[in-house]
Structure 1
Amino acid sequence: MTSVDDPATAAEQCTPAFRRDPYPVYGLLRETAPVCPIRPRHGIETYLITRYEDARAALSDPRLSKDMYGAMDSYRRIFGDSSVALDDHMLNSDPPKHTRLRKLVSSGFTPRRVEALRPRIQGVVNTLLDEAPTREPVDLLAVFAFPLPIIVICELLGVPEADRAKVQGWSTTVAQTGFSKESKLAQQRAEESLYAYFSEVIGDKRERPGEDLLSALIEARDENGTLTEHEMISTAFLLMFAGHKTTAYLIGNAVHQLLTHPDQLRAVREDPELIGPAVEELLRYDGSVETATFRYATEDLDIAGTRIPRGALVQIALNSANRDPLKFDAPDRFDVTRPGNAQSAHLGFGHGIHYCLGASLARLETQLALTALFERFPKIAPADPAREASWLEVPFPAFRGLTELPVILDPGP
């Protein structure tokens, strides 16, 4: 990454070089402009927070609202009118609404409920690896990292197996963050398709409930009147969207980093007890959620000496905060034996009332995926070691993930 004199310009450099390695730019911003005004393509005044302590405080600051309906003009300028239908959920709300919505969903993601899914997740992992080609180059994202979480979250929600491919396709289109007319139109059509689909599925489950999370949400709504139809559809979309992309990219990033740090992979293989700490270190070192979702200032406020005016948007660079040397020793070193108290301090799943509801599930899926992959294929290697990794390119990063991960699972002798 070339040096940049203007921090605001640095924050906008979402070029392939920046996507490949944004961390030098984040380091520059932490040193020179830790709360940096940036000029995103949506044209709305936005500030980027890059230091750990500022980020952690901002994630739980009630003056930074997540209620995008309270910032409707800004919201519509960024995401378009059609997004509103799918975004009336807990991620885009403040208390007391957030408290009500999260309480209704949280029972499906308790540590005990997630642990009960272990046998089924392990079975999915085994099946996907059984079916993957082993002696020829294969995109591990396509055959393993993406199918695993989409299968798990669809089963949890109660989405029929026959519908999973089209639901994943619509979700992928919605995740695109282009600002062109064509991109916006494709997003609108996908959002409308998802809304119609979940409306139909929820109607079917009202007639024929099952042992799934959507049926449980319907029961909670019908008995207590605390979840509207609109909120139910939006919540289904949120769980589907958040439940597969972030974990898929995390698994991809994890495999990439372990393959490019063979000493760390060797340490995990020699001590299987390190798999849990390794996942935490991967979340810290190169997490799949690069920046937290938008917040906006409900009043004028100061963060680290920078005045943020009322109505401005705020983005929190989680991956930058997780590389802050004021918080982590040698933060740019990938170390699966890093002390546990340092690993657990990362902001990979956020902080405060919006801490990721599915964190336990994402951890379990990633641990089981990595354990099985490296145990079954001890010689796994990049298909083309000289080829640079290809990272997502977006107008401003939300996800950090690979576009593909070509490997040979079993290169032979």
Structure 2
Amino acid sequence: MKNTITDGKSCPVHTNSTCPYTRQSHVIVNFEDPSFTNNPELKFQELRNSNSIHQITLDDNFPIWLISTYDDAVSVLRDSRFIKSPDNLRRHNHEASKGKTKRNSPTYILRRLHMLANDPPQHTRLRNFAQKVFTKKVFSELQLKIQQITNELIDNIERKKEFDLIDDFAYPLPIIIIADLLGLPNEDREKLRNWSDILIEVQITEKNKQLIDETSEAFTAYLKKIFALRRKNPGEDIISAFLKLEETNDHMSENELYSMIYLLILAGHETTVNLIGNGIHALLSHPEQLHLLKNNPHLIHSAIEEMLRYNGPMLASTMRLAAEDIHMKGATIKKGDGILILFSSANQDETKFDDSLRFDITRKSNKHLAFGHGIHFCIGAPLARLECEIAINTILKRLPNLRFNPEINMPEWRTSTIIRGLKNFPVVFG
């Protein structure tokens, strides 16, 4: 997904007849460029300083507007004219209209029926189901479990001289927790990871369509078997709790439940993997802040909020659509156009945060947007914070000399329009 280029002049990359991108802005944004993924801050600063919103266009001519400032982000997140469900537009949804996602296919069911992909009243109904099982009591009771798993992972790490913080720690911790919450077998964790890596893709293209469809079908078939087992032998897990609601008049359909579990697995581990990885990366990149936290462990809560703000787990929001023509900052967002809110940019807005590009674990009044804002605020935020707190506290105590591996290149960032996280993170601790 790119935006290439500029002020009505000809594109320096393509001829006018072949350029697949709209020329709306003098700021060039290429989400696939390593120079962007390695250091998006400067590009986001350009976007904010232009005092405008910016349009990019996908290869199939679907226009998307980028929202880069904090105030604009909050405004869009509060505005009911920006919707999540394409079905609420008079035209068919973009993917379906292109023949990419057939209604009632496993891919459509997983991607379109969960609460994050819907608007009120359907969103409200689905979120209420989630809130019935994701209670504060559930989260608080997880503390000992998270600490136990964290210690076990570090026990394994201590047998090595070096390790990858993502593969050996940041990834397995949340996937073990979410699988345990859902009552999924331990031996299925690697399969869940592989499926998640494929299904997290935001845009369905001709290149990835078959793989996403096949994975969606396999994942749905897997859940169907799990549901059948839980109906016969319910447990204390969240899937059993959702299925128990079938005894009442108010419950989710089978397809809605597939989609809900899909969302919980992706959101339940993806956010935390990146929060832990990005957070430790920020600490190692700022030794004075790392030293401050080691000597003042009571700062862990403000440190986590600063990690969420400074380099949070989500680069941008999931897609919203304009339900009508909307005028904003001199531009007209047309009905059906897509909107991406750049959380990472909004969280570094210099008009909202003093010295916004500085990582400061003592920062006060840190009202970041890392977990969103408004009706779609992340329901799993308390769990992500708890896992991160336990993970980082334990690492600092048990691996106090943790540092970048000097013999390996710096960690590589993932290429994504939505996710902000590391592919790998080689470290040493001896």
- What interval of TM-score do these two structures reach, taking the shorter chain for normalisation? over 0.9
In 2, the alpha carbon distance for the partners of 1:8 and 1:193 equals 44
Structure 1 residues 181 and 192: alpha-carbon distance in aligned structure 2, compared to 1, 3 A threshold: same
The aligned amino acid for 1:227 is: M
2:338 match: 313
Instruction: Determine if contact 1:8/1:38 at 8 Å carries over to the other structure.
Output: no
Instruction: Determine if contact 2:27/2:47 at 8 Å carries over to the other structure.
Output: no
Higher alpha-carbon deviation: 97-106 or 67-76: 67-76
How many aligned positions are there?
A: 403
Instruction: Pick one of 297, 303, 309 that aligns with 1:272.
Output: 297
Which structure is higher in RCO with an 8 Å CA cutoff and minimum separation 6?
Answer: 1
The aligned amino acid for 1:29 is: L
1:303 match: 328
Instruction: Determine if contact 1:8/1:39 at 8 Å carries over to the other structure.
Output: no
The aligned amino acid for 2:145 is: R
Q: Deviation digits for residues 267-310 of structure 1, max 9, x if unmatched?
A: 11111111111010000000010100000000111223322111
Higher alpha-carbon deviation: 105-114 or 237-246: 105-114
- Percent identity between the two aligned chains: 36
Instruction: Determine if contact 1:284/1:323 at 8 Å carries over to the other structure.
Output: yes
Structure 1 residues 239 and 8: alpha-carbon distance in aligned structure 2, compared to 1, 3 A threshold: farther
1:56 aligns with 2:74: yes
Structure 1 residues 382 and 42: alpha-carbon distance in aligned structure 2, compared to 1, 3 A threshold: farther
Q: Which has the higher helix share?
A: 1
Structure 1 residues 348 and 42: alpha-carbon distance in aligned structure 2, compared to 1, 3 A threshold: farther
1:190 match: 215
2:231 match: 206
1:73 match: 93
Structure 1 residues 370 and 32: alpha-carbon distance in aligned structure 2, compared to 1, 3 A threshold: same
Instruction: Determine if contact 1:59/1:351 at 8 Å carries over to the other structure.
Output: yes
In 1, the alpha carbon distance for the partners of 2:237 and 2:87 equals 29
1:404 aligns with 2:424: yes
In 2, the alpha carbon distance for the partners of 1:336 and 1:79 equals 45
Instruction: Pick one of 144, 147, 154 that aligns with 2:169.
Output: 144
The residue matched to 1:46 in structure 2 has which SS? strand
Structure 1 residues 287 and 42: alpha-carbon distance in aligned structure 2, compared to 1, 3 A threshold: farther
2:21 match: none
The aligned amino acid for 2:235 is: G
1:26 aligns with 2:51: no
Kindly state the Cα deviation for residue 162 of structure 1 after the two structures are TM-superposed: 1.9
Equivalent runs, 1:384-403 vs 2, <5 Å: 384=406, 387-394=409-416, 397-403=417-423
Structure 1 residues 190 and 33: alpha-carbon distance in aligned structure 2, compared to 1, 3 A threshold: farther
Higher alpha-carbon deviation: 7-16 or 143-152: 7-16
Instruction: Determine if contact 2:306/2:359 at 8 Å carries over to the other structure.
Output: yes
2:139 match: 114
In 2, the alpha carbon distance for the partners of 1:114 and 1:211 equals 14
Q: Deviation digits for residues 188-225 of structure 1, max 9, x if unmatched?
A: 21111111111221121111111011111111133224
1:329 aligns with 2:354: yes
Instruction: Pick one of 195, 199, 213 that aligns with 1:170.
Output: 195
1:155 aligns with 2:191: no
Instruction: Determine if contact 2:27/2:46 at 8 Å carries over to the other structure.
Output: no
The aligned amino acid for 2:34 is: P
The residue matched to 2:257 in structure 1 has which SS? helix
The aligned amino acid for 2:370 is: G
Instruction: Determine if contact 2:55/2:63 at 8 Å carries over to the other structure.
Output: yes
1:128 aligns with 2:146: no
In 1, the alpha carbon distance for the partners of 2:202 and 2:124 equals 29
Kindly state the Cα deviation for residue 385 of structure 1 after the two structures are TM-superposed: 6.8
2:374 match: 352
In 1, the alpha carbon distance for the partners of 2:47 and 2:318 equals 19
The aligned amino acid for 2:392 is: L
The residue matched to 1:226 in structure 2 has which SS? coil
1:376 match: 398
Consecutive unaligned residues of structure 1, counting only runs of 5 or more, are none
Instruction: Determine if contact 1:277/1:336 at 8 Å carries over to the other structure.
Output: yes
Q: TM-score, normalised by structure 2?
A: 0.89
In 2, the alpha carbon distance for the partners of 1:101 and 1:280 equals 28
CA RMSD of aligned residues (A): 2.0
Kindly state the Cα deviation for residue 135 of structure 1 after the two structures are TM-superposed: 4.5
Consecutive unaligned residues of structure 2, counting only runs of 5 or more, are 8-24
Structure 1 residues 360 and 140: alpha-carbon distance in aligned structure 2, compared to 1, 3 A threshold: same
Kindly state the Cα deviation for residue 186 of structure 1 after the two structures are TM-superposed: 1.6
In 1, the alpha carbon distance for the partners of 2:200 and 2:179 equals 18
Higher alpha-carbon deviation: 349-358 or 6-15: 6-15
Higher alpha-carbon deviation: 221-230 or 51-60: 221-230
Kindly state the Cα deviation for residue 104 of structure 1 after the two structures are TM-superposed: 0.7
In 1, the alpha carbon distance for the partners of 2:339 and 2:270 equals 23
1:40 match: 58
Q: TM-score, normalised by structure 1?
A: 0.93
Kindly state the Cα deviation for residue 13 of structure 1 after the two structures are TM-superposed: 4.9
Kindly state the Cα deviation for residue 42 of structure 1 after the two structures are TM-superposed: 4.8
In 2, the alpha carbon distance for the partners of 1:335 and 1:284 equals 10
In 1, the alpha carbon distance for the partners of 2:207 and 2:332 equals 37
Instruction: Determine if contact 2:174/2:268 at 8 Å carries over to the other structure.
Output: yes
1:260 aligns with 2:280: no
In 1, the alpha carbon distance for the partners of 2:287 and 2:166 equals 20
